[in-house]
Amino acid sequence: MNYKHTLTGDQLRLVFNGDLIGENNGPELVELVNNTLSKGAKYCLIDIADVRYINSSGIGVLITILTKFRNKGGELFLIKPSEHVKKLLIITKLQAIFNIVDTEEQALGKIN
């Protein structure tokens, strides 16, 4: 999986592309999150529109990121999951835990 990140004010934006397999990128992503939280990030917006597949370790990474932001009084938003990823979130009942939105604007509307 490839990803890009930007930190604007208190918002970390991540764009994932490919397969979210936690073993490959997990520790690197968690370190990035820790660094941005120490810089004052409060919200994490993850665009997962181009994620084709997520394994259990990938789900673990998303839950870890979610927990870190919520522990700091913030929130994580999953933006535009593919149909396959949406089904996975429903089957695992994780759609009840994550804030899932269709656009970045919807996420920003929930922040402000």
Res 24: pLDDT: 80
Q: Report whether pLDDT(110) > 80.
A: yes
Burial of 65 (C-beta count, 10 Å sphere; 0-12/13-18/19+):
buried
Confidence of residue 2 (pLDDT cuts 50, 70, 90): very high
Percent of the chain with pLDDT over 90: 89
How far are the Cα atoms of 45, 56, 93 from residue 15, in angstroms, in the given order? 8, 19, 23
Average the pLDDT over 70-97 and give the result.
95
Q: Which two tokens stand for residue 56?
A: 């259990």
pLDDT tens-digit map of 56-79:
999 999 999 999 999 999 999 999
* CATH of the domain spanning 2-111, picked from 3.40.640.10, 3.40.220.10, 3.30.1330.40, 3.30.750.24: 3.30.750.24
Q: Report whether pLDDT(112) > 80.
A: no
Domain boundaries, the chain: 2-111
Res 76: pLDDT: 98
Secondary structure (H, E, C), 60-107: HHHHHHHHHHHHCCCEEEEECCCHHHHHHHHHCCHHHCCEEECCHHHH
pTM summary value: 0.94
Confidence of residue 10 (pLDDT cuts 50, 70, 90): very high
How far from chain centre, in Å, is Cα 98? Answer: 9
Res 30: pLDDT: 94
Give which of 83, 86, 76 is closest to 13, Cα–Cα. 76
pLDDT tens-digit map of 12-21:
999 999 999 8
